[in-house]
Structure 1
Amino acid sequence: MSTSLEGIRVLDLTRVLAGPYCSMILGDLGAEVIKVEAPGGSDDTRKWGPPFQEGVSAYYICTNRNKKSITVNLKSKKGKEIIYKLVKRSDVVMHNFKTGTMERLGLDYKSLNDINPRIVYCSITGFGETGPYQHLPGYDFIIQAMSGLMSITGDEQSGPQKLGIAITDVLTGLYACIGIQSALIEREKSGKGQMIDLSLYDAAVSSLINIGSNYLMSGDVPERLGNHHANIVPYQTFYSSDGEMVIAVGNDRQFSSLCKLIDYPELSEDPLFKTNPDRVAHRQQLTPLLQKAFSKQPTAYWKDLCHKEGVPFGPIQTINELVEDPQLKARNMLLTALHPKAGEIRMIGSPLNLSRTPTSLFAHPPEPGEHTTEILDALGYSEEEIKRMKHDQSI
């Protein structure tokens, strides 16, 4: 079976989340991804938990399938030699070391571009390679705080809240994929690689979308609205008689349908609620009326009725409910693989559905250095040289 990125080799010196998430996507699309760690393994997520399955971390598993693993001491002469040989044969180099680290190691873009002018070099840092914050460490929680995301998440009572996942890492990983593939496409025309300078801070700020635009247009500092929407009403959570659910009315037609199904058709003709700007202006009057109606029936009742009438609706599902969702099963979003240490493992799949070159699960998340001998053998190192490098801890 052919794959979208067949023939592309990625040298992945990243760890934790943003970089590994990107390289996993590239691996899902068929690129050969070589994960580089220090001898013994240096990706911190290998130790993040519980949960562990036979000593293998669930956190590590979530972003490291479809990769090979080699361990290399980047500070040793032999280690650098190995990396340089791999760079000559690679299309992409990724790293997420602090600004200045790669220069000290002799693995910066200029040095590697001299070895392979076609190399696409992706740097992922907290704040970027330039600017007054360039040397600060960047963790997702810090970035969520500084980027404005936390200031608009939560409500007046809760105070600022972070998202339940490391969203800025995920966003940056996605941007890295876009940048890398764009650079590879451009390389077909120019024959030259280039450097991509990505920061978690920039990626997080880019995600402010309409909230950022609202401020830039009005000058009004946005408030925390909890599960309400700044520009659309009703677009929020409601309590049913047995749980919580989301109603997301995107236009006046949908609002009219909603009013009919809750037996208040006159609401859609009320001058206070007739158009979306009216509803935004009078959300305090409208929300209690809708809540009173929704509290009379269970979530399943409203789900069936809303789906029938074309009103956007979603139950608030817990993760254990989510994994039983027939829609996800139909879309192959839950994968199972055999791991040499953990045994059978379950993973969330790829949302990328390509008609001719689909993504696939090629390989389990590798153990540290699982493919070191295989990769070094392909580079021309003898069995004796490999043993010697292991002895002096170059690999």
Structure 2
Amino acid sequence: MSTKEAGAGLKGLRVVEMGQLLAGPFCGQLLGDFGAEVIKIEPPGEGDPMRNWGRERPYGKSLWWPVVARNKKSVELNLRGQAGQQAVRDLVEKSDVLIENFRPGRLEGWGLSPDALLALNPRLIVIRVTGYGQTGPYAKRAGFGSIGEAMGGLRYIVGQPDGFPSRMGISIGDALAGTMGALGGLVAINARHRTGRGQVVDSAIFEAVLSYMESMIPEYVIGGYIRERTGSVLPNVAPSNVYPTRDGQLVLIAGNQDTVFRRLAAAMQRDDLAKDERFATHAARGKNAELLDEIITEWTASIDSDPLLDLMEDSGVPAGRMYRAPEMLADPHFAARESIISLPHPDFGELPMQNVAPRLSDTPGQVRWVGPELGAHNDEILRGLLGMTDEQVARAQA
């Protein structure tokens, strides 16, 4: 008998999300995916700008919103008015976590500082996601994800060596800061089990990016080395690159480990490469990566992608296609793991999106519904949970 309880990992945890756009809302999305009740506060009549973001907007609606706002409840409150601010205080008293990603000082200006909120609810966890953090000389600057990616070191090393620094095709800085905010929030909740007290989680975009920069700092301080853009390869790691095939496809082959390279050489019917002093060791291949890539490219260009991938699998050499959405939707592995799911949407019918990650054996995450309409949960939260009258709701939304 199965003991799985989908969406129950954070069941019973109530989260108030006051952020907008992406970094704070992504933090809320992660918590909601694992069962937390996420109550998203939005400006009356306007909502989160994410409702209008994204390149494709059929029916005039965003395809991004249903993903980033999934599993959330939408409530309209005017945070600039005293009645709206009081509603937040009342809600915080009944909640476990508050997420916000306003510029530092905004909450304080509304009389909703962490100190004030913790005085109302000493067990509250306040997750604050910003560009530069809550302290330091840059704290009050406007901070977008792109700036955090640049300051955190990521932008400089992405792109071709002879071109300008490039960007990732997604808002990676915001996502990393949101992920770190969620991680910090869960650590704080665990600490609360011991202490009985809440605390503030300060997640800065530039520091979230910086935390992923591997050994960049000691490489410079100790070794005097500054990482540069290297295009599709990593310096001194070969072969690990994208190679063309006869049928016009691109296949990534990663054969940089010594034992794996010997298997690759055998698959190429080039055992001589594994014995060649220029390629026999990891260090040697790194020094001669360009020459080795030329040899492998000449070989892959003579083979169609399907037999090449079959050969790599049979030989125990990691390899894969460069996937886009069409390839993901057609892949049997994605289907078997239900990596992409579909949910009903009032305008789009069945709406596909990525499933929850990571996988938990007993309390897996679950997407219960797509991003809601603006104010869809006003009655449930304001009148139901908080017991507000129609007059009080009207003042809080004015």
Query: Across the two proteins, how many residue pairs are aligned to each other?
Result: 392
Contact 2:232 2:242 in 1 (8 A): yes
What TM-score do the two structures reach when normalised by structure 1? 0.95
Task: Give the corresponding residue for 2:333.
Answer: 327
CA distance, structure 1, for counterparts of residue 162 and residue 293 of structure 2 = 18
Amino acid at match of 2:127: C
1:168 Cα offset (Å) = 0.9
Task: Give the corresponding residue for 1:181.
Answer: 186
Amino acid at match of 1:386: D
Task: Give the corresponding residue for 2:313.
Answer: 307
- Pick the aligned partner of 2:54 from 49, 52, 66: 49
- Pick the aligned partner of 1:133 from 120, 123, 138: 138
Contact 2:245 2:305 in 1 (8 A): yes
- Pick the aligned partner of 2:212 from 207, 210, 221: 207
CA distance, structure 1, for counterparts of residue 216 and residue 255 of structure 2 = 18
Task: Give the corresponding residue for 1:85.
Answer: 90
CA distance, structure 2, for counterparts of residue 212 and residue 306 of structure 1 = 36
1:122 Cα offset (Å) = 0.4
1:195 Cα offset (Å) = 0.3
Task: Call closer, same or farther: CA 1:76–1:107 in 2, change over 3 Å.
Answer: same
- Pick the aligned partner of 1:336 from 336, 342, 346: 342
CA distance, structure 2, for counterparts of residue 260 and residue 278 of structure 1 = 18
Task: Give the corresponding residue for 2:397.
Answer: 394
| Percent of aligned positions that are identical | 32
SS in 2 for 1:33: strand
Contact 1:55 1:342 in 2 (8 A): no
Contact 2:382 2:393 in 1 (8 A): no
1:216 Cα offset (Å) = 4.0
SS in 2 for 1:373: helix
1:158 paired to 2:171: no
- Name whichever of 197-206 and 321-330 sits farther off: 321-330
1:34 Cα offset (Å) = 0.2
- Pick the aligned partner of 1:190 from 191, 195, 210: 195
SS in 2 for 1:218: coil
1:145 Cα offset (Å) = 2.3
Equivalences for residues 18-167 of structure 1 within 5 A: 18-167=23-172
SS in 2 for 1:34: strand
Deviations 1:257-296 (A, max 9, x none): 0111111111111111111111111213222112111111
Task: Call closer, same or farther: CA 1:388–1:118 in 2, change over 3 Å.
Answer: closer
Amino acid at match of 2:88: I
CA distance, structure 2, for counterparts of residue 360 and residue 172 of structure 1 = 22
- Pick the aligned partner of 2:298 from 277, 292, 299: 292
Give unpaired runs (5+ residues) of structure 2: none
Deviations 1:302-324 (A, max 9, x none): 11000111101011122211222
Task: Call closer, same or farther: CA 1:341–1:393 in 2, change over 3 Å.
Answer: farther
1:10 paired to 2:15: yes
1:213 Cα offset (Å) = 4.6
- Pick the aligned partner of 1:251 from 257, 278, 287: 257
Deviations 1:105-146 (A, max 9, x none): 111211100110000000000010111111111112222222
Task: Give the corresponding residue for 1:239.
Answer: 244
Amino acid at match of 1:17: L
1:273 paired to 2:285: no
Amino acid at match of 2:310: D
1:387 Cα offset (Å) = 4.6
CA distance, structure 1, for counterparts of residue 392 and residue 183 of structure 2 = 40
Task: Call closer, same or farther: CA 1:50–1:160 in 2, change over 3 Å.
Answer: closer
CA distance, structure 2, for counterparts of residue 316 and residue 132 of structure 1 = 42
Contact 1:41 1:369 in 2 (8 A): no
Task: Give the corresponding residue for 1:356.
Answer: 362
Contact 2:91 2:386 in 1 (8 A): no
What TM-score do the two structures reach when normalised by structure 2? 0.94
Task: Call closer, same or farther: CA 1:214–1:303 in 2, change over 3 Å.
Answer: farther
Task: Give the corresponding residue for 1:220.
Answer: 225
SS in 1 for 2:313: helix
Deviations 1:24-43 (A, max 9, x none): 11111111000011101331
Amino acid at match of 1:21: F
SS in 2 for 1:209: coil
CA distance, structure 2, for counterparts of residue 294 and residue 216 of structure 1 = 40
CA distance, structure 2, for counterparts of residue 132 and residue 168 of structure 1 = 20
Deviations 1:148-190 (A, max 9, x none): 2121111123321111111111111111111111111110010
Contact 1:232 1:249 in 2 (8 A): no
CA distance, structure 2, for counterparts of residue 29 and residue 342 of structure 1 = 25
